[in-house]
Chains A and B, each alone.
Chain A
Amino acid sequence: MILRIFTSYIFRGVLLCLATLWLSGCAKKDKAQDPPPPAYYTRLGLEFSHEMNGSPLVRNTQPYTNPAGETFLVTKFRYYLSNFALVDDAGKNIPLASAYFLIDDAVDSTKRILLDSVPAGTFTAIRFLIGVDSARNNSGVQSGALDPVNGMFWTWNSGYIMAKLEGTSDAIDLPAKGFEWHVGGFKGPYNVLKTVQLPVNFRVIPFTAALPNFKVVANVGKWFAPNAASFAQTPVIMGPGEAALNIANNYQQMFSIKNQ
């Protein structure tokens, strides 16, 4: 019988081989679209806390005094961080995966961030941008932390508010006594984007369990110096310009790392 051939072990073997070949062909096709397998990567945690010259920032109730002698309350403190990178022991800048974070003093969950794609190596500094790079200011509607729903986007002059500090001060000669410092601008002479570089010292060894984690302090007190900043003189900053730039040059110094 010619059909006997189908029952032979050889035929069964051929069938199995065919099936395997097909499967592997199918799998190969999918694999070709994947990026090449990466080296070891881990994540880096940053925990932010906010202070006013050494003591924890207390919004709404705790009066503070700035170098101009003006007493004030803080009601809102928010800022964007992006373009994180590490500097390795050879001085090389290693950009981490693109990510944008909106850190809000009023929302604790925003103060703990995880950075992806940290490679193995020895690192001497963390670098990041205070604000949102110009590309994302220009390229239309964004989502996530950059969603305009977060109230950090200027509608009349497109661009992100990189950082904002709001509150009240008796020094302000206006009925509501309010100040609103919205610092933004990404173009030409009024570009407020500031890069921060914080010295660290850590090693990432492949396949060790511990994630590197740093406690970062942002000191609101740094917003007021070295450039003079007065609520009475400038209660409102709401656009790119000299005033915003002065504040950005001040707050560039507000970050430090605590647990080293």
Chain B
Amino acid sequence: MRHKAFYIAAAFGILLVLTHACKKENRGGPDNARPEPVTLALPPGFPDPVYSFANNPLTKEGIALGRFMFYDYRLSKDSTVSCGFCHQQFAAFGHFDHALSHGVGGQQGTRSVPVIFNMIWQRELMWDGGVNNLEIQPLTPLTDHKEMGVDLKELIQKMQGDPKYRQQFKAAFGTEEVTTERMFKAITQFVATMISGNSRYDSIIRKVPGAAFTPDEAAGYQLYQQKCAACHKEPLFTDLTYRSNGLPYLAALNDVGRMKITNNTADYLKFKVPSLRNILRSSPYMHDGRYFDIFQVFDFYDHGVQVTASTDPLVKNGIPLTDQQKRQLYLFLNTLTDYTLINNKSLSEVLIEP
């Protein structure tokens, strides 16, 4: 009788062990908790993102790590400048009140800080399109001597020595190892969540009950469609092309624009068409931040265009605007301010305690 019991028990035991062994999800204990997947809510009517998440799936922990790094001033050479130092949320992640970017040691760059939102729709980044993938973008400000000025190798060693970073990398990627790839992918994840597609304009376009343009805004929208939309195309309010808008060349900065990237004289003075979304929050304007007021921009298009061989045909003869039209255009542009971006708590600065 004892034998019988033994065999029955053994049979059940083997069955149990086998069924568990065959279930893959049971391998690895609770210690190896997987990061929690996140699905981005994309604004209705937007095209498919250009950035592929295939090799960088969004997770709650990855985004949190990216956010922490974005606001960590210790990522700069002298621990004074974070990504968020130049990319301020209230300025739609541009740099409020600064014509030119500035970084460690009080150094000044040659271009205005570009706003960062809707980055997952950008094929190339920077004013001249020099950076070809969102993931690789953090490399430029981190290592530029006039921006954050770090040696990437030293930075990774420094972060590897920090228990808080080790813990956050483990949560996001499974182990404590800090690598360039993980670091940049996490920053990309956070930046990917900076999406702007929920302004008053968007509500009106989506026919949300109660949302409507005022007569002046409606007139401004019409003006926009006639005079601006060819380059600042809906829904991103940029067609992501490079154009020379006739902005007078400044010898002091000697910025030839996209020609530097392509070596092609046809690209002389061409810069990426910036988005008009959140435009009233992201002054100053143009690639060198020379205009602090949007009305200066209207005036420039009205009578300031300086034609060169590469100036875009669309602006060669200027864009005439009456005072009333400028006012209406201003009021329309005001409807493009997205408070769910600039007030979004999940994008805001985190306190970094060393």
Contact = CB atoms under 8 A, between A and B. Distances in A.
Contact of A141 (B14, B22, B181): B181
A146 to B, nearest CB: 9
Nearest to B124: A158
Contacts of B260: 157, 239
Interface string B125-165: 01000111111100110011000000011001000000000
A3 B181 CA distance: 63
Interface of B is mostly: helix
Interface stretch (A52-60, A65-73, A148-156, A164-172): A148-156
A155 B263 contact: no
A140 B7 contact: no
Nearest to A155: B140
Given A143-B181, A148-B139, A155-B139, A138 B11 contact: no
Contacts of A149: 152-153, 156, 180
Interface string B45-82: 00000000001100000000000000000000000000
A63 to B, nearest CB: 30
Nearest to A242: B263
Contacts of A138: 132-133
A51 B86 CA distance: 47
User: Which of A137, A140, A159, A242 gathers most chain B CB within 10 Å?
Assistant: A140
A131 interface: no
Given A7-B4, A155-B140, A140 B134 contact: yes
A148 B140 contact: no
A33 to B, nearest CB: 10
Interface string B175-186: 000011100110
A229 B95 CA distance: 44
Contacts, number: 85
Interface string A232-257: 00000001111000000000000000
Given A26-B22, A147-B179, A6 B136 contact: no
A15 B18 CA distance: 14
A153 B140 CA distance: 10
Nearest to B1: A3
Interface of A: 3, 6-7, 11-12, 15, 18-19, 22-23, 26, 29, 137-143, 147-149, 153, 155-159, 190, 239-242
Given A155-B131, A240-B263, 9 more contacts: A29-B22, A137-B132, A139-B133, A140-B55, A140-B188, A153-B139, A155-B144, A157-B261, A190-B263
Interface of B: 1, 3-4, 7-8, 11, 14-15, 18, 21-22, 55-56, 126, 130-136, 139-140, 143-144, 152-153, 156, 179-181, 184-185, 188, 260-261, 263
Closest A-B pairs by Cβ, 10 of them = A140-B135, A158-B132, A141-B184, A140-B133, A141-B135, A6-B4, A155-B140, A143-B181, A157-B130, A149-B152
20 contacts: A3-B1, A3-B4, A7-B3, A12-B7, A19-B14, A26-B18, A137-B132, A138-B132, A138-B133, A140-B56, A140-B188, A143-B181, A148-B136, A148-B180, A155-B144, A158-B131, A158-B133, A239-B263, A240-B263, A241-B263
